[in-house]
Structure 1
Amino acid sequence: MNKQIWVFFIAFAFLFVTCQVARQSNIPRTTDESVKSIPAFTENPSPRHLTPEQSLKTFKLPKGYHLELVASEPMIHEPVAIAWDGNARMYVAELNTYMQDVEGTNEHAPTSRVMLLEDTDKDGRMDKSSVFIDKMLLPRMILCVGHELLVNETDTYDIFSYKDTNGDGVADVKRGVYTPGKKAPGNLEHQRSGLDWNVDNWIYQTVDPVRFRYANGILKPDSIPSGSGGQWGITHDNYGRLFYSSAGGEVPALGFQINPVYGRMEIDDQYQDDFNAVWPIIKTPDVEGGLKRLRPDTTLNHFTASCGQVVFRGDRLPGDLAGDLLISEPVGRLIRRAKVINNNGKITLQNAYQKEEFIASTDMNFRVVNMYTGPDGCLYLVDMNRGIIQEGNWTGPNSYLRPQIKRLGLDKNIQHGRIYRLVYDGINPGPAPRLLDEPSGNLVGYLGHPNGWWRDNAQKELVLRNDKSVVPDLKEIAEGKQNKRLKTTSPLARLHALYTLDGLGELDRGIIVNSLKDPDMQVRKAAVILSEGFLKQNDEQLIEQLAVLKNDPSVDVRMQLVLSLSYSKIPKAKTLAKELVRASDGNDMLARAQRSIDKNEDVKKFGQRLGRMDETDRNLVLNGAVIYKSLCSTCHGIDGKGLVSKTAPPLQGSKRLGRGTDASVRILLHGLSGSIDGQTYPTEMPAMGDNDDQWIASVLSYVKYEFGQASPVRPDDVRKIREQTAGRSKAWTLEELSVKQ
């Protein structure tokens, strides 16, 4: 008997282990995970400021990885963004007035700056600095274009170019490149970030619904109808796919299914189940929002400040890191590593580790707000290294956060800052480039470089120079021919050659048609995108050539075809798009792409709020607008603010128009009498119940949309309340309605 029990337990244990292995086998694993130990947990971390040398001892990383100090105070203070020019000189944007105390005193004083740093002895550490631009108002976006630096400051949409003409490291020429002259509203955390020159030569930013092309020294805007989304941070992968994040929405990654110019596509299962959970290695009591964001051990339980993301595209770290998405969580003092998985056209994200993070620190002032692939092929982290990481709107006297900050003394840790470089044992960082000094022919050779930074910047510099002498070389590369300037015609080299030709205005129809047959699906997809200029001209022959791709083995290519065909108004294009969706063999990504395009068209026609509504709700609002403006406005005013004669109460801001439907439906069905919000009116609101449910729902949908910022009312909602109140014959009073609510 005992022997049988023993055999049973052995069999059970073996089965348990087998099941565990099978259950976990579908999760992509990283090659270094087997040597990544369980992190130590620091229960009572010290809030005191650490020197750079002390901070370097606080990091938990996978075996073989190390952080090196590139720059720190006093060379830099409060860094938030960096940009390299083509010769690897580093520009650093500083927010020197950001939350210098818990009140945010003098936050908008124009005393911030952009620093210029150089590594003259090539040891990886900056040893020369100058104040490139001084007396700025919180510079937030920077981008190098040739020998100039584009900068946007907080509270303005304007972007200016700065240039140093005498070589002293200080900008002496300033000119406007995009100057709408409007003040940018809102909290500084909710204004734009980015200026990311993407593979497609468009420059993207967050928040505002616009992207740019840089031509003839000017940024030319192009609208993104459905909005760009995101908050602080934007990045792209090797093929131009964009990744946004939203700290305010507590969404660590979004906008990565399709380019925002085609609309929005977010999918419920685009993350692994517990992707939003984070795993700090110290207590994190200074969390905006309080206890609901904390585990019992006082660690942050999910992303609440995701920002500064980057898709690593370098060549001087282990190969399995390339293409991974890294997301900073400065409240948790950690950096997430996400595997980006393409599952038949749908992109999904998974944490590379189980209940652990790629980088975590016990330094309470470790606050990474941006990350980049560097010209040396390594990863760079921009650490503000400060105590407070929330803006003053969230540290008020009655907030959960303020007492935590004061108790720990975090408000005293200011005017520091670190830039780190991530390196790996046995892999030396790459050489520094001199792209600005090299002839255009040499730059063509870098379009196939293994480091994405070199490919992007060689392409950017070629486009900026507008040097047409390289066009024959670019065409050879795009066509997959051997070229004297490029050792190999890799798919990435062909892709960059296509986009460089486009940026130079030298991309002809024949090259596109040839690239539609390329063996690499990413090149075929790029060719479809680049066909859009011809599709806008209603090129019927090109549509026939694109139709060859309707059976393409790649879902990504067919989905892009659906998106790009929307640029043509020819019936043949719409027919082809419908055929693609019908033949999608159960894969709903093509149908999703078509819905995104349809919604995008609605936004163009009706504006963002109405355009994003379902057609049924939108029609209710539009029909209700006609009724309201012809009938109801005579008493409530066209703007819902009432009339000077005070005939009827204002609807703007009315409590009865917020969430929920009961009160507003009851009022319209049976009327309203008595004092309203402390004011009496000469007449009572008459009953409108003689009108049908569709009419009532339409009027209420409009006034809720226009004056209450609330969801529409459906006819079925009206029907149910009409049945519930069928015996009522007199008007409601607010006292009665308050009981019903």
Structure 2
Amino acid sequence: MNLNRNKVVIIISLAITAVACKKEGRKYFDTKYTKPEIVKEAPSTVHPPEESLKSFYLPKGYKIELVASEPMIDEPVTLAWDGDGKMYVAEMNTYMQDVDGTGTNRSISKIKQLVDTDGDGKMDKSTVFIDSLLLPRMILPLEDGELIVNETYSYDLWLYKDTDKDGVADTKKRVYYVPKRRGGNLEHQQSGLLWNLDNYVYTTYNPMRFKFKKGGVVEVDTLDYMPSGQWGLTQDDMGIMYYSAAGGENPAYGFGQHAQYGDFSPKERLEKGFNETWPIVGTPDVQGGPRRLKEDGTLNHFTGVAGQEIYRGHRLPENTYGDLFIPEPVGRFIRRAKVKNIEGLRVLENAYYQTEFLASTDLNFRPVWSKTGPDGTLYIVDMYRGIIQESNWTRKGSKIRPVIKRKKLDKNIGRGRIYRIVHEDFKPDDQPQLLNKSAKELIPYLGHRNGWYRNTAQKLIILKEDLSVVPLLKEIATQNQSVWSKWFGDDKKDYGLERIHALWTLEGLGVVEKDFIIEKFKDEDPRVRMNAIRLSECFIKNEEIDLFSEYKILSEDASIEVINQLALSLRYSDTKQASSLLKKIKNQYQDNIVISHSAKESLKKDDLALLALQNKIKGWAPGDKSSIIRGYNIYNGLCITCHGADLKGVPNEDGSLVAPPLVGSKRVKGDKKRLVKLVLNGLIGEVDGVDYGVMMSLKDNHNGWIADVLSYIRAMNGKGVVKGHEVGKIKVNNKRKDYWTLKELNK
């Protein structure tokens, strides 16, 4: 086998780790980890929080504490804190209240504001900040009393504000508007609203990013090549984002490079066997049925991944910093993954040998979100319920429905818990007090050991729009130290991270000066040099070529990360200088799979896949071409997670596919009416001799949406388009409520 040097290093590194695992029974030696006996058939009994706490299994030294529970919260799905530590919790109060999902689309969901009034770490005051919402899914606190909110089936963003400080929003205005309604399943819609290091706010699914200014003013930037993702979005110290997809059973991807440059997710990003899971309780209620279970009855593979978080706090052991925590609500556990950097390639490996960081024997434990808290600990949102699959997957004929009925999981609704993970050697911090501070008073927090403080301070300074702090920010960014020092009591200060946040805060205030950026090209911290290159992209995009003498020097940098960032940034230029430098970098690092990818193409050109599609349909009628292009965009925002960018199906680790191939499919190439019927109601059972589980119904989408996506996949098979009126006619005559099987459909 002809492996390049980068792959060899990865394989050797992981092999050494594997040997250590087998010998020691674990990978990292901060904790002793004794796996409990597996409970193969647990009851679905609803336990009060105090009893549920006894069901958790954590490594030695770690503890789980209750922060809030029912009746204070009900069906929580995500949380966020404002600058003073007030917690906002979004609830989906209508989610799967019975096995058929009856009444899901009622506008009775809420966002709560929770406050810890006595500082003991447990919330004791709750108010309904916003009522009468339709399944709220994204929240972002801005300044005091301000919250950006998105609801399911909508692209719109609303700014709610509490002007009299009573914990209840009393004004609202729409700050981003898209007239069309987003159709489809509620699980396959956007998540996130993550304020990134680069001051853009990112979501999953949609290829757009936002910039918020004072008063909720929004600027929108659209990219053609961002990862799609599903529920949850997180970032590391450099703003690299980690996506996941439950639909594609993909626990982590998109972190090979920053999302603005597209999705780079080589298979080497996960250690061999990473997708195998190690719950401690039997998992009968898995969508795929028995084939998804081990002999001991536990889940054998990630499936419901949601709400992942790169831990960036300061009140857990130091070796947890930068680790990725992945909640798995179907398996009732949370994976802790180490992020290793092997010649520029980020590789995830399970921190423990054949065990998980946190696992529970309570069948109602449903972790759907995790987040680094202001107090430096790790927070977990537990929806605490029986059913965690939306009604598309629990209908009659599904493998999971009889299990739900047998275990009476449909009866366990209307609850929810929020926990925090602490460690016996660390005391959580007190609540923050940032909202009333001036921009100048916020600046020291740009170097705080806790990433929550750094990002929150940066956001608040930018929203204040106080340009008087620019000289102070420049002074901080000009420093050239890379050592740690004592700061904020016993915490350590990372001067490099402080300079990076100062630089991006300046960018958020509209200050990016060429001479200043050139100076930072020489910073002794390679992380600062990387970010200075990113900040110089505004000059690259403006076709300014006077920086290329500096870029040539950077192309010889000692840091492979710096060289990789240079290659990524130079792709924004179509100049001869950029092409020459990219060619040099690629030739010099041809054995490195990361840099070989980064240096391969220009981002100023159209998306290459889209260009190929346009060439394929060059002679088609204009209306048909428009439909196919729209379908291409829809496909890449939804179907790609299971069927893959090449329409050949996303491969599992064992070589099987998550979903059947669409290229060459006789169902795609055959009768259009039959294809529309399949998409309207979904499909269950074997497809070409393989049981892929359930394909969801797409009938909630409008006729044109369905016609466009089908037109795209048919065009990729050389077949004609589907018209919206054809879909409408079939919809009107469609009396079927359940999934199709192929046998029934073929009749």
TM-score band, normalised by shorter chain: 0.7 to 0.9
Q: Which amino acid aligns with 2:51?
A: Q
Structure 2: unaligned runs, 5 residues or longer: 1-15, 625-629, 631-660, 675-708, 720-747
Cα deviation, residue 43, structure 1: 2.0
Change (3 A) 1:19 1:100: closer
Q: Which residue of 1 aligns with 2:567?
A: 562
Alignment of 1:633-672 (within 5 A): 659-660=663-664
Distance apart, 1:426 and its partner CA:
2.6
Say if 2:572 and 2:604, in contact at 8 Å, map to a contact too. Answer: no
Give the residue type in structure 1 aligned to 2:714. G
Change (3 A) 1:279 1:435: same
Q: CA deviation at 1:263?
A: 1.9
Q: 2: distance between equivalents of 1:712 and 1:555?
A: 43
- 1:506 is aligned to 511
CA distance in 2, matches of 1:223, 1:664: 31
Q: Is the 8 A contact 1:45 1:282 kept in 2?
A: yes
Aligned residue among 132, 135, 155 for 1:135: 132
Instruction: Spell out the pairing of 1:205-604 with structure 2 (5 A cutoff).
Output: 205-216=203-214, 217-480=216-479, 490-584=495-589, 586-595=591-600, 597-598=601-602, 601-603=605-607
State the alpha-carbon separation in 2 of the partners of residues 95 and 404 from structure 1.
23
Whichever residue aligns with residue 164 of structure 1, its letter is: D
Question: In structure 2, what is the Cα distance between the partners aligned to 1:121 and 1:129?
Answer: 14
CA distance, structure 2, for counterparts of residue 282 and residue 704 of structure 1: 41
Which residue matches 2:114? 117
* Counterpart AA for 1:94: E
Cα shift at 1:569: 3.2
Change (3 A) 1:662 1:50: closer
Q: Deviations over 1:481-515 (max 9, x none)?
A: 69x99896710101101100100112211221111
Alpha-carbon contact 1:73-1:417 (below 8 Å) kept: yes
- 2:48 — aligned with what? 51
- Offset at residue 567 of structure 1 (A): 2.0
Cα shift at 1:44: 2.0
Aligned mates of 1:167, 1:105 — CA distance in 2: 36
Partner in structure 1 of residue 188 of structure 2: 190
CA positional deviation for 1:577: 1.5
Map residues 44-193 of structure 1 onto 2, 5 A cutoff.
Answer: 44-147=41-144, 148-193=146-191
Q: Distance in 1 between matches of 2:586 and 2:378?
A: 40
Amino acid at match of 1:190: H
Q: What count of residue pairs does the alignment treat as equivalent?
A: 626
Distance, in Å, in 1 between the alignment partners of 2:82 and 2:163 is: 15
Could you say what secondary structure the match of 2:515 adopts? helix
Could you report, residue by residue, the CA deviation over 1:459-478 in whole angstroms, capped at 9, with x for unpaired residues?
A: 11001001111111111111
Q: What displacement does 1:25 show? A: 8.5
The residue matched to 1:335 in structure 2 has which SS?
A: strand
Cα offset for 1:540?
1.4
Q: 1:491 to 1:133 in 2, by over 3 A?
A: same
Distance 1:23 1:350 in 2: 11
Structure 1 residue 114 displacement after superposition:
0.3
Once residues 65 and 556 of structure 2 are traced to their aligned partners in structure 1, the CA distance between those partners, rounded to angstroms, is 50
**Runs of at least 5 residues in structure 1 that lack an aligned partner in the other structure:** 1-17, 634-638, 640-656, 668-675, 678-702, 714-741
TM-superposed CA distance for 1:30, in Å, is 2.2
Change (3 A) 1:339 1:331: same
So what's the TM-score if we normalise by structure 1?
Answer: 0.80
Q: What amino acid maps onto 1:206 in structure 2?
A: T
CA contact (8 A) 2:75 2:92 kept: yes
Instruction: Output the CA distance in 1 between the equivalents of 2:18 and 2:504.
Output: 46
Instruction: Name the CA distance, whole Å, in 2 between partners of 1:574 and 1:540.
Output: 12
- When normalised by structure 2's length, the TM-score is 0.79
SS of equivalent to 2:435: helix
State yes or no: 1:708 paired with 2:705. Answer: no
- TM-align CA RMSD: 3.0
Q: In the superposition, relative to structure 1, how do residues 26 and 194 fare at CA in structure 2: closer, same or farther (>3 Å)?
A: farther
With over 3 angstroms needed to count, the CA separation of the structure-2 counterparts of 1:306 and 1:658, relative to structure 1, is closer
| SS of 2:562 mapped into structure 1 | helix
Matched, 1:32 2:30: yes
1:160-216 deviations in Å (ceiling 9; x for gaps): 001111111110010111112220121000000000001111101001111111124
Tell me if the contact between 1:532 and 1:564 (Cα under 8 Å) persists in the aligned partners: yes
Which structure's relative contact order is higher, taking Cα pairs within 8 Å and 6+ residues apart?
2
* Equivalent residues of 1:444, 1:485 under 8 A apart: no
Q: Distance in 1 between matches of 2:419 and 2:18?
A: 38
Moved more, 502-511 or 370-379: 502-511
